[in-house]
């Protein structure tokens, strides 16, 4: 039994067949554990090259762990992390950053989920005041939790601002592939202004793997130890590596993301003009945020699985995935239209 | 390129084919994320029944995480964990217990890796002294890090001692299947005296999954939140569940462990009488610890992969796995014999 | 050289002479360390009686420590603390709660610094969602950071709401004496709805001492160990006890607070009608928050020491202390009037 | 009521009168809080000069806090601290290092409480192994917990070894004054090989104050923030400063330590030749460790307060303090002699 027909999340999708195929392929005999195997070497080398990451790449098991490990390379406990109030880090990680990092998140309301130099600057007033957590890391999400994307120019501006202010820049890249697909740029282009970022496999068609990409060489030394201490060093790492090798094969990572984005675009296009339905955010990846009347939401949720994102604001989130079909989108658009007509 | 012919570790082995087959089988369409899928429900229910665990079962990603999460249900930071000095928790987790739990490990030298009520009692003298960490959890490993097993009577005695002293009992069960196979008992028999324990899938033929088994019902409520906060909540959990479903099918978990144990027994038998080779620990699972002359070790390691466990004591560890063959054991025994003859 | 003439903070004041006298008095010969001395026994017993605290009283060294220790008795790391955004805990403790508790603060904007059941309820929507920190403690300040006081009825309502919702209630009582003086009630009246609270000595005329007051008996057992682990167990505790004994003598604690409150009232009275000066909060303790033109602020700060609380809002804070004199207040009122006239 | 006649601890002594006098002297009017006052400036500057500390000096409230804060400047959580098993840090701080630092202590048995390059080297074998905490700090105590002192040559050798191995050297100086008095050297001489050390006031005659002395300039920047986050920033800091100013006046710190050492020497001299009494450690400060028959211990403890240090080994600890008198020592020696005769 599976989920109701779903625009619930890209992590409700299964795994891409290239991922499972590669996992089966590496299942041959003994291999050195903890990443000493040739597949891990290869996957990390390929990722490192794609990102231009001088500090190397580490595979971990969850998105939360990628964020926490990535940021842990950049700060000490008395230092804080500036992030949008909507950040996954702040909202959806059950306090993992506070517990594991021992640090405070310094949040900024950001209506489109995006930080700007001005928003960051609004949180820098207390530097030097010994009673206040000292901002050290700026954490953005690319794609944001609202499905929006930073442009390359915006990323460069953030990077320059951070450097000029002595801050480090981290990006939660749980949906980084979708951003690259949207922007039509390389992963290295996105990564260039960052100190550390994550690259999500799971929402891109993997079974469960994320990469922590360390751009700066001087941050690399402690990373393997921190990964272990943060309980993310898996012994049979070849099966993590295999997932990325599957996604990297024939650029499936990009094709998966592109397809998901296209399906979101198709969905958004189909919704335009439906009475009562309004897009709440720009559609720049594989997410469509829309507001619609509560009665419509209720009726649609009887048949379809998706999140009511913000109840007072009547905002819902519809996510597409690498395996969303045009037929599925069209059927859903019809359902929304029908609901609008009937309700 | 894979590892040299290996008695290095049971985590250098690949995955059992039933595991990969089940992972492919659950790869169909959407499924509710974070464990709300039917496969996770089924795997956890089956495990819960096997253990008689009133508090439920949670799937996590690494053995270190299973230990830390399991123990975190049982203590607060000013409380400590009594464990053998040889415990994986103490030696091999890069300080994860200290960092994540914020607690101190109170270690006891234990020549065979096993705690006894007397050894535990030796660490209880400071109760009530405000300058000293207060012992609260006793953490054992079953199988121990030295390949030895507690008998059921020993486990019951530990359980009774802990209850009488107001202590909680945790077991690191990374190789629990091997213990059940050795003792010829059920998992519930082993688990009965525990408050929480882990059940390792990875070393038993999985790709990478461990279960945290909560025996006491009153410990269950916080466990899902702690799992998330400890960065162990995977979104596509069906693929973790599938691994256990594969191992539970046709009792592969027990057959895998039995085979590994048998191969270790065969290896130990073959070594008896070889000049210069002495067993260092009883062989009660899938590990053979032996001492032999440094020159022999060096020569054997040119062809075979295994750990030099304790250099000054010239002790090596030879691990077998679910896929170790009789031919492989016999070939290695010959190599050891030959080395003894020639060196 | 001392501070400029100051309405800067009640912690810029010196110590009350009864405090220093008592510290000298206990300085006789040897005494059992770590609180085993008779003065600590007596001070804690007297405080316990004043509060009706069944769980006992512990002396600690800073207000931050009192807050962190107090709350640590009430929650585990995956649980969170609901507090006003303006809470000292959130703003002024350099991330100590996050680092030491490993917990997240769940903040609520509160214009007058006070929580209400409705404000708390607004942060309870995510209970049971494994991705979200679970609210467990409500932390208020009495007096608040804005100088306002909860009435006893408001405190009772908070207590009842918390109990009905399975939440624990903590109060930061750095200025609790001022609240008791303002409300004209006993410390036990204020403390009755709380699970744990602090009672500040430092801002009341001590050299440096705070009490953690544990109302509920079942919370007491771990407190001495947590105090030690949180680095707050002083060896020569008689000198902490002496400070409270000094303040309790002849009810100096209440007389000190009453005087400070009166001086704030006198200041507020004097400011009424001064052009450009507006009270920003009700004056219910020893703090006066007012807004006035930037040029006035700048000019006054040349001669007088006080905080510019909120620069964009042009709000300043003027604090009085146990040793503020009427002449000092009147001189300052004249200065404000003069500034208003001239600027 | 005070303690029984006591050789219990130098923290059972009261405060030196110069300390209380100076605390009274600084009690004049308002002063900038949190260390901005002139007395704190002066005390820290004088201490900095005495130690030759380029990174500055911070006042804190307890010895445990001094150790934890000092070490926190030197390591990150995945790094560990090599210390003698007997270290206060390991034994007597209720797990504060593990909780606050999140780090593991790597202990070495050291019969006289002193580390050597060889003992440290014995704990360096796992560097680079990702499963093992990476040693980063070596923490010694000067005076040690056994009352012994490192010579300056020994300290230099430790410093050189640490530098050559990429380790940092920390010293717990709760009784540093006693070491300086014993060695007849300056504080700067002792401090020269260190990265950070503490300088204890409390056991030297203060009410309760310790200094964290930061030798290296590059470690200074984060120290004030870490102090605040670790709940050690007191608001009325002039009263901490006054304690050190009192001790620095007329070199009372040195005179106090010298006297305490002399009294321990006198005690040790008096015990020589008493049947059944054997010195267990060299007497190089203000502590005398001796073994004697259990019946003697029991009888002496009826009248005198001191610690039974190691029950199986029948070792007791007798501490002297700045205010121990010759008469008190002589009376105690007589009591020991009498006990030996009668029992």
Mean pLDDT of chain B, nearest integer: 96
- Is-contact D6 D304, C-beta < 8 A? yes
Interval A252-263: pLDDT, tens: 999 999 999 999
- Is-contact B264 B320, C-beta < 8 A? yes
This prediction has a pTM of 0.96
d(CA B81, CA D72): 23
C-beta atoms of B104 and D92 within 8 A: no
C-beta atoms of D30 and C20 within 8 A: no
d(CA C53, CA C75): 19
Contacts of D131 in chain A (CB under 8 A): 34, 228, 233
Half-sphere exposure of B156 (CA within 13 A, CB side): 5
Mean pLDDT value of segment B115-137: 97
Q: Chain B interface, mutation test: which of C60, C103, C130, most B Cβ atoms within 10 Å?
A: C130
Which chains are within 8 Å of B by 3+ CB pairs?
A, C, D
C-beta atoms of C98 and A104 within 8 A: yes
Q: Nearest CA to CA, how far is B254 from chain C (Å)?
A: 33
Query: Is the pLDDT assigned to residue A249 strictly greater than 70?
Result: yes
Q: Chain A interface, mutation test: which of C9, C99, C107, C127, most A Cβ atoms within 10 Å?
A: C99
* Direct distance between the N- and C-terminal alpha carbons of chain A, in angstroms, rounded to an integer: 30
Interval B205-258: pLDDT, tens: 999 999 999 999 999 999 999 999 999 999 999 999 999 999 999 999 999 999
pLDDT at D3: 57
Of D94, D102, D131, the CB nearest to B130: D94
- Is-contact A23 A246, C-beta < 8 A? yes
Q: Nearest CA to CA, how far is A220 from chain D (Å)?
A: 13
Handedness of CA C50, C53, C56, C57 (dihedral sign): negative
With H, G, I as helix, E, B as strand and everything else as coil, classify residue C168. Answer: strand
pLDDT band (50, 70, 90) for residue A1: very low
Mean pLDDT of chain A, nearest integer: 96
Both tokens of D166, joined, read 């990429």
* Helix, strand, coil fractions of chain B, as percent rounded to 5: 45, 15, 40
Secondary structure (H, E, C), chain D: CCCCEECCCCCCCCCCHHHHHHHHHCCCCCCCCCCCCHHHHHHHHHHHHHHCCCCCEEEECCHHHHHHHHHHCCCCCCEEEEEECCCHHHHCCCCHHHHHHCCCEEEECCCCCCCCHHHHHCCCCCCCCCCCCEEEEEEEECCCCCCCCCCHHHHHHHHHHHHHCCCEEEEECCCHHHHHHHHCCCHHHHHCCCCEEEEECHHHCCCCCEEEEECCHHHCCCHHHHHHHCCCCCCCCHHHHHHHHHHHHHHHHHHHHHHHHHHHHHHHHHHCCCCCCEECCCCCCCEEEEECCHHHHHHHHHHEECEEEECCCCEEEEECCCCCCHHHHHHHHHHHHHHHHHC
Of C77, C93, C95, the CB nearest to A77: C95
d(CA C343, CA D16): 53
**How many CB pairs below 8 Å do chains B and C form together?**
41
Q: Which helix (H) or strand (E) holds B238?
A: helix B238-248
Preceding omega of C60 cis (within 30 degrees of 0): no
d(CA C77, CA C55): 22
C-beta atoms of A2 and B28 within 8 A: yes
d(CA A332, CA A338): 10
pLDDT band (50, 70, 90) for residue B270: very high
- Is-contact B50 B262, C-beta < 8 A? no
Interval A295-330: pLDDT, tens: 999 999 999 999 999 888 899 999 999 999 999 999
Mean pLDDT value of segment D297-311: 93
Half-sphere exposure of B166 (CA within 13 A, CB side): 8
Max distance between CA atoms of chain D, in angstroms, equals 61
d(CA C297, CA C315): 9
Query: Closest residue of B to C227, CA-based?
Result: B130
pLDDT at A169: 98
Q: What is the ipTM of this complex?
A: 0.96
Q: Of the ranges B228-242, C300-314, D97-111, D163-177, which one carries the lowest mean pLDDT score?
A: C300-314
Contacts of C222 in chain B (CB under 8 A): 76, 78
pLDDT in tens, chain C (343 residues): 345 678 999 999 999 999 999 999 999 989 999 999 999 999 999 999 999 999 999 999 999 999 999 999 999 888 999 999 999 999 999 999 999 999 999 999 999 999 999 999 999 999 999 999 999 999 999 999 999 999 999 999 999 999 999 999 999 999 999 999 999 999 999 999 999 999 999 999 999 999 999 999 999 999 999 999 999 999 999 999 999 999 999 999 999 999 999 999 999 999 999 999 999 999 999 999 999 999 999 999 999 999 999 888 899 999 999 999 999 999 999 999 999 998 7
CB-based contacts of B226, cutoff 8 Å, min separation 6? B69, B72, B73, C77, C78
Residues of chain D whose C-beta is under 8 A from some C-beta in B?
77-78, 80, 91-95, 98-99, 102-104, 130-133
pLDDT at D333: 96
Interval A129-162: pLDDT, tens: 999 999 999 999 999 999 999 999 999 999 999 9
pLDDT at C304: 94
**How many CB pairs below 8 Å do chains A and C form together?**
54
Q: Chain C interface, mutation test: which of A67, A68, A98, A105, most C Cβ atoms within 10 Å?
A: A98
C-beta atoms of D236 and C6 within 8 A: no
pLDDT band (50, 70, 90) for residue B3: low
**How many CB pairs below 8 Å do chains A and D form together?**
41
Query: Closest residue of A to D226, CA-based?
Result: A78
- Per DSSP, A325 falls in state -
Residues of chain B whose C-beta is under 8 A from some C-beta in D?
77-78, 80, 91-95, 98-99, 102-105, 130-133
Query: Closest residue of D to B99, CA-based?
Result: D102
Query: Closest residue of B to C226, CA-based?
Result: B78
d(CA A9, CA A178): 14
- Is-contact B139 B170, C-beta < 8 A? yes
* Closest residue by Cα to residue A1 from B20, B40, B44: B40
C-beta atoms of D229 and A78 within 8 A: yes
Q: Nearest CA to CA, how far is A103 from chain C (Å)?
A: 6
Q: What angle do CA D232, D233, D234 make, to 5 degrees?
A: 105
- Is-contact A173 A200, C-beta < 8 A? yes
- One DSSP character per residue, B125-172 reads TTTT-TTSPEEEEEEEESS-TTS----HHHHHHHHHHHHHTT-EEEEE
Contacts of C130 in chain A (CB under 8 A): 94
Query: Is the pLDDT assigned to residue B37 strictly greater than 80?
Result: yes
d(CA A182, CA D223): 45
Distances (CA, A) of C244 to A62, B22, C320, D24, D241: 51, 68, 21, 17, 21
Distances (CA, A) of C185 to B68, C179, C214: 48, 9, 19
* Closest residue by Cα to residue B24 from A239, A21, A236, A2: A21
Residue C322 neighbours by CB distance under 10 Å: 25
More confident residue, B76 or A24: A24
Of D34, D76, D228, the CB nearest to A76: D76
Q: Chain C interface, mutation test: which of B35, B36, B76, most C Cβ atoms within 10 Å?
A: B76
Q: Report the percent of chain A where pLDDT is more than 90.
A: 95
Mean pLDDT of chain C, nearest integer: 96
- Is-contact C139 C81, C-beta < 8 A? yes
d(CA C281, CA A6): 51
Q: Report the percent of chain B where pLDDT is more than 90.
A: 95
* Direct distance between the N- and C-terminal alpha carbons of chain C, in angstroms, rounded to an integer: 30
With H, G, I as helix, E, B as strand and everything else as coil, classify residue C140. Answer: strand
Beta strands in B144-291 (DSSP E): 168-172, 196-200, 210-214, 278-279, 287-291
C-beta atoms of A130 and D233 within 8 A: yes
- Is-contact C245 C47, C-beta < 8 A? no
Residue with tokens 């610094």, as numbered in its chain: C113
Interval A32-48: pLDDT, tens: 999 999 999 999 999 99
Preceding omega of A143 cis (within 30 degrees of 0): yes
More confident residue, D135 or D312: D135
d(CA D142, CA D152): 11
Q: Nearest CA to CA, how far is D96 from chain B (Å)?
A: 8
pLDDT at A3: 56
Mean pLDDT value of segment A170-184: 98
Interval D190-203: pLDDT, tens: 999 999 999 999 99
Which chains are within 8 Å of C by 3+ CB pairs?
A, B, D
pLDDT at C1: 39
């Amino acid at each position: 039994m599976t989920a109701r027909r779903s625009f619930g999340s890209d992590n409700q999708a299964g795994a891409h067949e290239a991922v499972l195929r590669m996992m089966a392929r590496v299942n041959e005999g003994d291999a050195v554990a903890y990443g000493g195997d040739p597949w891990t070497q290869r996957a990390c080398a390929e990722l490192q090259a794609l990102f231009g990451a001088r500090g190397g790449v580490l595979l971990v098991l969850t998105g939360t762990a990628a964020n926490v490990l990535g940021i842990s390379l950049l700060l000490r406990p008395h230092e804080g992390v500036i992030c949008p109030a909507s950040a996954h880090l702040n909202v959806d990680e059950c306090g993992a950053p506070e517990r594991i990092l021992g640090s405070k998140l310094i949040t900024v309301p950001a209506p489109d989920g995006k930080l700007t130099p001005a928003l960051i600057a609004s949180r820098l007033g207390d530097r030097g005041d010994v009673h206040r957590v000292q901002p050290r890391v700026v954490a953005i999400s690319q794609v944001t939790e609202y499905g929006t994307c930073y442009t390359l120019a915006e990323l460069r501006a953030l990077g320059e601002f951070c450097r000029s202010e002595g801050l480090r820049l981290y990006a939660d890249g749980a949906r980084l592939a979708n951003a690259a697909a949207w922007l039509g740029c390389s992963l290295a282009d996105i990564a260039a202004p960052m100190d550390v970022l994550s690259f999500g496999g799971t929402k891109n068609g993997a079974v469960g793997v994320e990469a922590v990409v360390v751009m700066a060489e001087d941050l690399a030394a402690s990373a393997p130890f921190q990964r272990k201490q943060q309980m993310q060093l898996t012994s049979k790492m070849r099966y993590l590596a295999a997932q990325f090798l599957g996604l990297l094969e024939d650029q499936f990572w990009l094709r998966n993301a592109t397809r998901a984005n296209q399906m979101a675009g198709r969905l958004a296009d189909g919704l335009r003009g439906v009475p009562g339905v309004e897009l709440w955010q720009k559609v720049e990846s594989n997410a469509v945020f829309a507001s619609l009347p509560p009665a419509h939401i209720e009726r649609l949720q009887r048949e379809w699985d998706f999140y009511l994102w913000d109840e007072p604001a009547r905002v819902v989130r519809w996510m597409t995935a690498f395996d969303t079909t045009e037929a599925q989108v069209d059927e859903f658009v019809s359902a929304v239209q029908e609901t609008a007509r009937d309700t």
